[in-house]
Amino acid sequence: MAIWHDIEASGEAEYSDWHTRQHMPERLGVPGFLAGRRGVDWDLAHQRWFTLYETRTLEVLSSDGYRARLNNPTPWSNRVQPNFRNFARSACVLSASTGRGFGGAMATIRLNTREAELAGFEAAADRLAHRIALIDGVCGAHLGVAAPQTTRAKTRESELRASTGEDVFDAVVLVDGVGRRELRRVLPDVQKLLDAALTITSHLAGIYDLAYLLTAEDVA
């Protein structure tokens, strides 16, 4: 599950506290959730926050355990979530993943392409991921196709964000790097590899510094 958003300025400090102390541990307590990380770019005026949840399978995101959390937000969640703005979120089917460990920053590239191109993206994903991961400064590459139908069901939490809007995208490329400087340097090379592999109708890229990382073992 990949999520980009902003927070109303008056609620940003509380958001970080809530997300670290309650929300992410709550999510990682759901069976099938493996890891969660929050990233931030304080210089961005649009979608400065990024969150990635890794799950064992796509079906975890429609499981009874996950739905129970979504439909029973805590009092703290009820107070914080209406502050979300400029929301973009989708479950994703992992097409390829390579690398080891977690980097100090992550580049995210959301892609829109012709529907017929998605099969080609999936076919080329493993080769692309390994080529990206070989670039100096990169420690991992993860490519996926959006599966918005998995997260489109209305829940009590989605009602709390009813006024935020929700952007859509077709596919995503996540590049783990040792730091922001390194990812800024290699991002044009990554984009060239993607442009050579498929026809992209639009893309949106950002680099997020790691703000918090939690695994299921941390909350077991």
Q: Are 194 and 135 in contact (CB under 8 A)?
A: no
Q: Are 216 and 35 in contact (CB under 8 A)?
A: yes
Residue 127 CB partners (closer than 8 Å, separation 6+): none
The partner residues of 172 in beta bridges, in order of sequence, read 110, 144
Q: In the chain, how many domains are there?
A: 1
| pLDDT tens for each residue of 186-211 | 999 999 999 888 878 778 999 999 99
Q: Are 102 and 176 in contact (CB under 8 A)?
A: yes
Q: How far is it, in rounded angstroms, from Cα 207 to Cα 42?
A: 11
Residue 38 CB partners (closer than 8 Å, separation 6+): 19, 20, 24, 49, 50, 51, 210, 211, 212, 213
138-159 average pLDDT score? 80
Give the pLDDT of residue 196.
86
Indicate if the pLDDT at residue 153 is higher than 80.
Answer: no
CA terminus-to-terminus distance, the chain: 21
Q: How far is it, in rounded angstroms, from Cα 176 to Cα 99?
A: 8
Checking DSSP bridges between strand 92-99 and strand 171-177, what pairing results, if any? unpaired
* Strand intervals (E) in the chain: 2-7, 33-40, 49-55, 84-90, 92-99, 105-113, 138-146, 166-167, 171-177, 200-215
14 vs 168, higher pLDDT: 14
Q: Are 166 and 89 in contact (CB under 8 A)?
A: yes
| pLDDT tens for each residue of 29-83 | 999 999 999 999 999 999 999 999 999 999 999 999 999 999 999 999 999 999 9
Task: pLDDT band for 155, please (50, 70, 90 cuts).
Answer: low
H helices of 81-220, in order, are: 117-133, 156-160, 180-197, 216-219
The token pair that represents 87 in the structure block? 């929301």
Q: How far is it, in rounded angstroms, from Cα 159 to Cα 87?
A: 13
Range from 113-117, 126-130, 155-159 that averages highest in pLDDT: 126-130
Average pLDDT, the chain: 91
Looking up residue 204, the CATH number of its domain turns out to be 3.30.70.100
Indicate if the pLDDT at residue 160 is higher than 70.
Answer: no
- Residue 94 structural domain: 2-219
